[in-house]
Amino acid sequence: MGQAGQHSLPLDSADDLQAQAIERTAYWIEQARALLEVSARRLPVPTVAFDLRGRAAGQAIFARRSRDCRIRINAQLLASHPQEMLAETVPHEVAHVVIYRLYGRRAKPHGKEWKALMRAFGIEPAPCHTLPAEPTRQLKRYRYACACDEPAWLTSIRHKRAQQGTDYLCRRCGEKLRPSAHADSAEERG
């Protein structure tokens, strides 16, 4: 996402990382207030949760009616890549919150306003992180047949829906998929 070394932070222990992420969130909000000359009332510090899983490093959540904002951080990535998460992901998500609070949904998520704020923070704007992240789950896949020679594979979610009556069509031949006579899953083929 950018220049992680520019905002170097001392890291004491893994127990301290969440507190540091919360402190960095408040720091970047304060920086945005100063840069944009915005009051604390108009730009409050969002709450921070550490409940994000999967490949995403962070996420800004906006409540439409109340315009309340919160930030979700991937605790696993924070623990494995603390320097990058604190120096890049936290200001990235704070920038989303700031832009939303000031412009609402008129501004694009990684649009010119967001990019300008990231540059004002001294961080090169990048829409995605480059940290190695594994998905939290692997879906089981089930074999289906159609007019094609090759089998089609449906995830466990779509397989369950197909069993409940949802029809799926082959992308190649357009025929309705039906459970294969070889009802094994991709995991069992192994």
| Rounded CA separation 107/134 (Å) | 30
Strand partners, 59: 72
Is 124 considered catalytic here?
no
| Rounded CA separation 42/105 (Å) | 16
For 165, counting Cβ atoms within 10 Å of its Cβ (0-12 exposed, 13-18 middle, 19+ buried), the class is exposed
Active-site residue identified among 93, 124, 150, 175: 93
| Strand 152-155, strand 141-145: pairing | antiparallel
| Rounded CA separation 79/60 (Å) | 19
Judge contact between 129 and 84, C-beta under 8 A: yes
Which tokens is 95 given? 């920038």
| Closest C-alpha to 46, from 5, 91, 105, 14 | 91
Judge contact between 117 and 98, C-beta under 8 A: yes
Which residues are marked as active site?
Answer: 93
